[in-house]
Amino acid sequence: MEKMSEKASYCLNCKVKPCSIKGCPLGNDIPQFIEQVKLGNYQKAYEILAETTVLQGVCGRICPHQKQCQGSCIRGIKGEPVSIGDLEAFTFDAMIEQENSLLNCYQEKRKIEKKNKKVAVIGGGPAGLTASAFLAKEGIQVTIYEKYDYLGGLLVHGIPEFRLPKEIVQKTVDKILRLGIEVQYHKQLGKNLFLKDLEKEYDAIFLGIGANQSCKMKVEGEELEGVIGGNELLEYQLHPDYKGKTVAVIGGGNVAMDCARTIKRLGAKTVKVIYRRAREQMPAEDKEVEEAKEEGIEFLFQNNIVKIMGNGKVEELELIKTQLVLKENDTRLVPINIENSNYVIAMDYVVMALGSKVEPYVAELGLQTNQWGNIEVNEQYQTSNPKIFAGGDLAGVKGTVAWAAYSGREAAKHIVENLED
């Protein structure tokens, strides 16, 4: 408590709030909640956060704070920024056991007036959970349809325990469900759940099923045994025996870091992260990269895959070095292969962590999609079917938990507005 009070006192309580306005996707009132932590008013701090987010314990732990709120902190110009993530996680932890106070926070100290409106939410990940909570707070009857027997989505199966404890996710889910939200598990679109049926029963539908199919490089040898998609590896935990093996993880984002660190923990002799750009261009958070290095993971920057080789299974990787060039009319440095810089390294497994795309069945839902297969939405997160809304990765929202949650919250607001018309 004393340590957190010190961290809170470090905040300047800026009137311009760059951490909130510029840095936080959800627009949390960061100076005000920190001020209440400093005063020891943890319930008030929680209430301030609850106005804009339902994922305090999650975002406080896994958001890319240096790229978002803490990266915009005025304190960070000449020194260390305020530890906003730590303070948000602390506020959640301090309040989560106080059930009566918690319920008051979510009811905003008023009785929720139940409306005769029903909304189906498909998918219980960050976008779906957030949409459900903000709909329920407006008195809407909400039913979540989830394909697994648990809620949380990638918070459970996409982020390792060492980064986000499952206990925190479960506590987050529990306090959201206490708003009176119903859940039906083992329900998957296109298998035992169909939009045409839901449209008859519900006044609106929100799709938050994510996009968890790993992208491929389309290089020679990608079909060999031992080439694994990073997203699927984390989701289904179908790990081979890595003991004594050398594993390459291709990519530079947090999924690549999570895969590499998980595989190292499972006994791999050597884990190499291969990234075609420079260290400074990695989308992964600095903290994750540094911790990966401390754990013995090797990094091959400015290297690109030419092909994967082996007799039926992965045996070698052919790589080529790259140089970064600023192309005309482009603001980013682009990696260009350096001619005749090819070399070969021995390899047992290759994990593709290059980003994700939507499942193929999304194209069969009868909704308009873009060239990447994401469902197209307007500014209100409304799809080509005015009764159906979508958010998160499915709708091509920026790939962080906070941005997914923002889309769920904003979609809920527009759903309520539409139902009131």
Instruction: Give the CA distances from residue 221 to residues 23, 213, 249, 308, in Å, rounded to whole numbers and listed in that order.
Output: 42, 19, 15, 5
- How confident is the model at residue 409, as a pLDDT? 98
Q: Residue 254 is encoded by which pair of tokens? A: 């947090």
Q: Can you tell me the distance from the alpha carbon of 295 to that of 41, in angstroms, rounded to the nearest whole number?
A: 38
Helices vs. strands in the chain: H and E counts, helices first: 15, 16
- How confident is the model at residue 99, as a pLDDT? 54
- How confident is the model at residue 1, as a pLDDT? 66
- How confident is the model at residue 111, as a pLDDT? 61
Domains of the chain: 2-105 (1.10.1060.10), 112-211+358-420 (3.50.50.60), 214-355 (3.50.50.60)
pTM: 0.93
> Which stretches of the chain score pLDDT less than 50?
101-103, 106-110
Q: Can you tell me the distance from the alpha carbon of 257 to that of 297, in angstroms, rounded to the nearest whole number?
A: 9
- How confident is the model at residue 328, as a pLDDT? 73
- How confident is the model at residue 309, as a pLDDT? 98
CA neighbor of 153 nearest in space, from 190, 122, 178, 184: 122
- How confident is the model at residue 344, as a pLDDT? 98
Q: What is the pLDDT of residues 210-239, one digit of tens each?
A: 888 889 899 999 999 999 999 999 999 889
Instruction: Give the CA distances from residue 269 to residues 89, 241, 278, 294, 344, in Å, rounded to whole numbers and listed in that order.
Output: 34, 11, 25, 15, 19
List helix spans (H) across 137-253: 154-157, 166-177, 195-201, 230-236
In sequence order, what are the residues at sequence separation of 6 or more whose Cβ sits closer than 8 angstroms to the Cβ of residue 402?
24, 25, 26, 55, 59, 63, 68
What would the DSSP string read from start to end of 81-109?
Answer: PP-HHHHHHHHHHHHTT-HHHHHHHHTTT
- How confident is the model at residue 151, as a pLDDT? 98
Q: Can you tell me the distance from the alpha carbon of 127 to that of 118, in angstroms, rounded to the nearest whole number?
A: 18
